[in-house]
Amino acid sequence: MTCNMDGFIGSGLCKRAVRALFVTAMVLIGAHSVVCSAKQDAVSQFTQANKYYDGTGVKPDPVRAARLYGLAAAQGHSGARFKLGCMYLDGDGVRKNTARGISLLELAGKQGDIGAQHVLGLVYYNGDGVRQDSLKATYWFELAARQGDVDAQYALGTMYLWGTGVPNDEKKASVWLELAAKDGLAMAQYHLGVMNEKGQGLAQDYAEAAKWYGLAAEQGVPEAQYHLGVLYELGKGVPQSQIRAMELFRLAAKNGNDEAREALRVRGGN
């Protein structure tokens, strides 16, 4: 039987077809509403959990926060999985359970949560409650670093620079350290200064070394202050200036650098 437009409503078969389509549509709409509602519930639970954890407008209650994070985490909320995972690692508001914490962090990390990726990198790098695993540490640090995590970029840079748990690779080290240095991380700026001065993984460039030392020195890194002083003393990459060199040696010595103290002693600049 053909259901043309004229006989559509009057046809019993077509009526049943329309009714079936209507029921199917209502089921799909209902399912979509449930999914949307669940997502909204997870966001609400996560927001409430943050309030109880941080004590924002309420008395801090990590136990209640953990329960709310758990409800949101069960619905796949990556931020809740990250927070709850950290709580299990620290025994904060819940009984300490390293395996459970790592499981939650890995779920969040695979969803792209940068905080979870960073923490997993640290956990595996330091062997905190797990067997130390440099390959896993590198894997998680790199995921976080590629999302712009400055500390993860620095961690990767130093791992490749010193060959800590990974093959020594000064070129890779320079790439990651430069990213962190450009984002303003002082120790990355210092190490990049050293690499430019020595030509490690980069063409030797005293002017570039002085630039990075200068940025780190401004942030109070005593090693950078000392090395910049040496460049001024020798006139490498900067105009030679004994006065500026001594100023930097004194500043570095004041901040606890032994090489600077020795430089001042030898030069009679105490």
- Please check whether residue 237 lies inside any domain of the structure: yes
Query: What does the pLDDT read at residue 137?
Result: 96
The mean pLDDT value for 57-68 works out to 96
In the predicted structure, residue 7 carries a pLDDT above the cut 50: no
- Please check whether residue 213 lies inside any domain of the structure: yes
Give the pLDDT band (50/70/90) at residue 1: very low
- Please check whether residue 3 lies inside any domain of the structure: no
Q: State the residue range of the domain holding 214.
A: 184-270
- Please check whether residue 144 lies inside any domain of the structure: no
CATH of the domain at 205: 1.25.40.10
The mean pLDDT value for 257-261 works out to 97
- Please check whether residue 224 lies inside any domain of the structure: yes
Domain count, the chain: 1
Query: What does the pLDDT read at residue 269?
Result: 65
In the predicted structure, residue 112 carries a pLDDT above the cut 70: yes
Give the pLDDT band (50/70/90) at residue 69: very high
Query: What does the pLDDT read at residue 13?
Result: 39
pLDDT tens-digit series, residues 199-209:
999 999 999 99
Give the pLDDT band (50/70/90) at residue 2: very low
pTM for this prediction: 0.80
pLDDT tens-digit series, residues 19-40:
544 444 444 444 444 344 445 6
- Please check whether residue 41 lies inside any domain of the structure: no
Query: What does the pLDDT read at residue 94?
Result: 98
- Please check whether residue 215 lies inside any domain of the structure: yes
Query: What does the pLDDT read at residue 160?
Result: 97
The mean pLDDT value for 242-255 works out to 97
Query: What does the pLDDT read at residue 88?
Result: 97
pLDDT tens-digit series, residues 150-190:
999 999 999 999 999 899 999 999 999 999 999 999 999 99
In the predicted structure, residue 5 carries a pLDDT above the cut 70: no
- Please check whether residue 262 lies inside any domain of the structure: yes
In the predicted structure, residue 198 carries a pLDDT above the cut 50: yes
Q: Is the distance from CB of 20 to CB of 36 less than 8 angstroms? A: no
